[in-house]
Each structure stands twice: as C-alpha cells, then as structure tokens.
C-alpha cells in the first residue's frame, strides 16, 4: 500500500485541500479522503487533477510530426497528408516502432496523459505478408507502454477495403490488411493471455466504414460481444466531408446514420472524429450513450472542420480527447482548443456550461477504453475512487494555469502506484528513427529527461 498527501485536489465534489490518496499494492486507488493529514504519506505539493486518458493515438505517426507543416501544392489536403502517412507506414520496422512509441508514451506521461488507447492498424510485414508467429508490430506497442510506464488499451484495428462499396485495398495499404477471423482470434488470444493487474488491456477497432463493410463489421461486433460484452470498440466515423459524401452515394445514408441504424452502438463504443455529424446524429449518439473522441489538435492540423461540442453536450453526450496524429501531445492544449473553438463559433467569452458536470474527458475518456475494474455499473456515474468525475464547469479555472505550465510537476500512474517528480529520470527510447524518402529528414531521438 502507498499513500500520497495531496495539497489540493480536484474531486467529484469540487476542490479539496489536504487529501490522502491510498493506492493498493496492485496499483488501484482504493481510498480518497479530504481534510486529513496522514503521517508517512508522500507529499505532492500544488494542485492535483485526475490523470487524463488519451483515447485515440496512432503512435507511428509521431515520426511525421513537423514534416507536413508546409504546403507543397494547392491540392494539399487530408488526402495528400494520408499519402505521406502511407509512405511512413510502409517503412517502419518493429524495432523502429518501439523506439517511436516509447518516446511518444513518455511524452504523453510528461504532458499529463496517464493512459493511452492505441488504435493500431499496422499489422503486416513490409512485403504485405503476415508476421510468422508473434506480430512484431503489436509487440512493439506493448513493449513501449511497459518501458514508458503508461496504461495501454491496445486496439487491434480491422482494415479490409480502400473505400465504400468493398473496393480492394491499394498497394500502399497492404500492411493494414486483416481477415475478420484472424482479427477475432487475435483479440480472443490477447484477452485470455492478460495477466492480472497488467496495465495493458485489449479492445477492438474498426478503421472506418470505408475500410470495413458494414456486414463484416456487424458480424465481427456480434462475435466480439461473445468474447466480452463490455469490450471497448472504437471507430473513425465522419472526419472528412468527402467520406460522408461517398458513404451517402454508396449506401444512401451517412456513416453515423448507418451505425445508428445498425443498432450496434452501446456505451462501450467510442466514435472518433464525429466532426461532420448532423444534429440528429449527435442526439442519436448521445441516446446510445456512445462516447465521442475529439482530437481538436489533429482536426485543426488537417483542416477537418468543427465538431459541434455545444450541441452534443446539450444532448447529454460524453466526450473524451486524444492526441491522434501526435501533432500535439498535450491534454491541456486539447481541452483549451475545445473550449476556445466553442468561443470562436459562438462569439462568446466563455463556454463551459455548468450543467455538464459529468462530461469531462477524464471521466468519459476512461469509459470506452477500460473494461476491467470499471468503478461503477453505470457508465455515467463513476465512483470517486476512479479519481473522477470532475466537471466541465471547472475547466476555465484549470486551463489558464495548466496551459501555461510546460508539463505537470508530477504524474502519478495509478496502476504501478508510482509517482514521478520532475527531477526523476525517465526511460530513454534507446535508439533513433530517421524519416527519409521524399520527406525532409527529422530524427526522433531517444526520450530526453525532463
Ligand atoms: Zn485516428
């Protein structure tokens, strides 16, 4: 057992001073008590807020950061960015991925994320053949999370077609290919191999409706429910207008409409980039109690469009955030952008409605990713022991302070019951990866100590 004495902490009921947090030997917070002073507890000065789950990440894209920030032609768009991403995806070997991911996960911890949902669609060797035996690319992510000390929800991602209408994968997408049977067997294996108290969990993801035909998705979801009815399921839904249009042309319905009509959505689903959702779709997602993951830094970086946070929250929706393409790895910045985006849209000085007291990223972000040890049967009412819920209404008080700091002074990773003050050394990634080809060279060296 380990105890921490927090000088000031944000609890479900609001700010509290002198809180004692008790962490069991298995790394789970078992008790939080305010207004106490516990002799022998390790003191954490300043203010403490719940650790932020990063609900959407593609670790390998860390190697692209800084390399796509200039314009090569007037036609540059999300789709040309995707071509650059394919070039990178087709060069990475497992050892390089482990280096990149380790550095990235350390960066996440230093920024205040304490766990990450890795949406992983890089499955095959460079020649398109499956890995014999263990999948080195999957193992690289597991190893990186272990070395960095971050909680991981690994999301093997089904990717089967290049567009709506079952179009075959393109040559540059060959490493993403996976059969439904292989996908299901691999997830089943990971679930049965999970060690007690491991920081690593497994969920499932479907890249998008353009990459997985709806009938394949339905079949896989029903079988996944047989493995674990509470398995987290993630999907990219409506990031680009072009994909919404293509879906409508092919099926007569928009992607989110298709998902809603399928009746498959549950509170264990996380819809990533519901950027171009209609008002009715937002209401439908909220009614299904599915979560929306917003990555405003990536959505802004790629010029995707505005997600209507205001409307979604008014409908009772739950939000979480993710670093996605890693253009920014900072929960403070994601939340600040979310707030400022609404101010810009509404031309008002403050957003943050007080009515949304249980709709903040630390709460909802934790739900679709963690199947084990969920603190409450009701996804909308986690218990205080989960270090949440907090409240959207507190954000303006936190953000000016948080966003000005370069990084949190401490990051407490509950599952290992460890606290890392800034003076402590962090693991190094242990190598480097250099981008080449048509992109300017940029080195991702080992993680530097804070
Ligand atoms: Zn993504």
Mean pLDDT of 74-96: 81
Q: 226: CA distance to ligand 1 center in Å?
A: 26
Instruction: Read off the pLDDT of residues 211-230 as tens digits, 9 standing for 90 and up.
Output: 999 999 999 999 999 999 99
Note if 268 is an active site residue.
no
Lowest mean pLDDT segment, chosen from 199-208, 260-269, 346-355: 346-355
Instruction: Read off the pLDDT of residues 293-333 as tens digits, 9 standing for 90 and up.
Output: 999 888 888 777 889 988 998 898 988 899 999 988 988 88
Q: Is the pLDDT of residue 439 over 70?
A: no
Residue in 236, 268, 273, 276 annotated catalytic: 273
**Residue 210: pLDDT band with limits 50, 70, 90:** very high
Q: Radius of gyration of the chain from Cα atoms?
A: 21
E strand intervals along 34-169: 42-48, 52-57, 113-120, 151-158
Q: Which domains does the chain have, with CATH numbers?
A: 2-48+411-421 (2.30.40.10), 53-410 (3.20.20.140)
φ, ψ at 194 (rounded to 5°): -60, 130
**Residue 382: pLDDT band with limits 50, 70, 90:** very low
Spatial separation of the C-alpha atoms in residues 140 and 136, rounded to whole Å: 6
Q: 272: CA distance to ligand 1 center in Å?
A: 7
Q: 176: CA distance to ligand 1 center in Å?
A: 14
SS3 at position 292: strand
Lowest mean pLDDT segment, chosen from 67-76, 138-147, 311-320: 67-76
Highest-confidence segment of 22-36, 252-266, 360-374, 404-418: 252-266
pLDDT at 350: 58
pLDDT at 174: 94
Spatial separation of the C-alpha atoms in residues 174 and 183, rounded to whole Å: 15
Mean pLDDT of 112-130: 93
Q: What are the distances in angstroms from CA 180 to CA 97, 222, 227?
A: 24, 12, 14
What value does the mean pLDDT of the chain take?
78
pTM: 0.81
Residue in 142, 304, 308, 324 annotated catalytic: 324
Smallest CA-to-CA distance from 339 within 326, 353, 329 is with: 353
Mean pLDDT of 412-435: 44
SS3 at position 390: coil
Q: 11: CA distance to ligand 1 center in Å?
A: 31
- Cα dihedral 247, 345, 71, 333, rounded to 10, equals -100
Question: Could you tell me whether strands 443-444 and 433-434 are parallel, antiparallel, or unpaired per DSSP bridges?
Answer: antiparallel
Note if 273 is an active site residue.
yes
Q: Which two tokens stand for residue 73?
A: 């032609």
Spatial separation of the C-alpha atoms in residues 72 and 93, rounded to whole Å: 27
């Amino acid at each position: 057992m380990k105890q921490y004495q927090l000088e000031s902490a944000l609890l479900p009921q609001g700010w509290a001073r002198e809180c004692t947090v008790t962490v069991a030997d298995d790394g789970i917070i078992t008790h939080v008590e305010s207004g106490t002073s516990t002799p022998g507890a390790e003191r954490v000065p300043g203010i403490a807020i719940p650790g932020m789950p990063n609900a959407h990440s593609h670790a390998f894209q860390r190697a692209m950061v800084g390399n796509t920030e200039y314009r090569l032609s007037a036609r540059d768009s999300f789709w040309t960015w995707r071509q650059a991403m394919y070039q990178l995806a087709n060069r990475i070997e497992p050892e390089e991925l482990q280096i990149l991911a380790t550095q990235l996960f350390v960066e996440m911890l230093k920024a205040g994320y304490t766990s990450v949902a890795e949406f992983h669609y890089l499955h095959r060797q460079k020649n398109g053949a499956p890995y014999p035996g263990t999948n080195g690319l999957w193992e690289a992510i597991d190893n990186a999370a272990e070395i960095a000390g971050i909680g991981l929800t690994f999301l093997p991602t089904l990717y089967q077609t290049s567009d709506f209408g079952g179009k075959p994968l393109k040559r540059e997408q060959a490493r993403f290919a996976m059969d439904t049977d292989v996908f299901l067997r691999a997830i089943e294996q990971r679930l049965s191999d999970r060690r007690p108290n491991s920081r690593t969990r497994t969920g499932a993801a479907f890249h998008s409706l353009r990459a997985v035909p709806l009938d394949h998705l339905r079949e896989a979801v029903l079988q996944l429910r047989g493995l674990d009815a509470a398995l987290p399921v993630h999907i990219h839904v409506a990031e680009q207008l072009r994909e919404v249009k293509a879906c409508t042309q092919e099926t007569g319905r928009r992607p989110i409409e298709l998902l809603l009509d399928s009746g498959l959505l549950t509170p264990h689903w996380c819809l990533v980039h519901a950027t171009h959702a209609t008002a009715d779709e937002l209401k439908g997602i909220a009614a299904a109690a599915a979560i929306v993951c917003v990555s405003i830094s990536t959505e802004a970086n790629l010029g995707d469009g505005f997600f209507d946070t205001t409307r979604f929250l008014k409908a009772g929706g739950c939000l979480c955030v993710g670093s996605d393409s890693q253009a920014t790895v900072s929960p403070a910045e994601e939340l600040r952008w979310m707030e400022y985006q609404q101010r810009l849209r509404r031309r008002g000085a403050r957003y943050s409605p007080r009515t949304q007291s249980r709709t903040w990223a630390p709460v909802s972000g934790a739900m679709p990713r963690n199947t084990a040890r969920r603190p409450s049967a009701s996804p909308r009412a986690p218990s205080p022991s989960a270090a949440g819920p907090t409240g959207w209404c507190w954000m303006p008080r936190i953000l000016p302070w948080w966003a000005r700091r370069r990084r949190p002074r401490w990051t407490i990773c509950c599952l290992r019951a460890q606290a890392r003050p800034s003076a402590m050394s962090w693991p190094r990634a242990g190598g480097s990866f250099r981008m080449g080809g048509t992109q300017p060279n940029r080195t991702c060296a080992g993680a530097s100590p804070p």
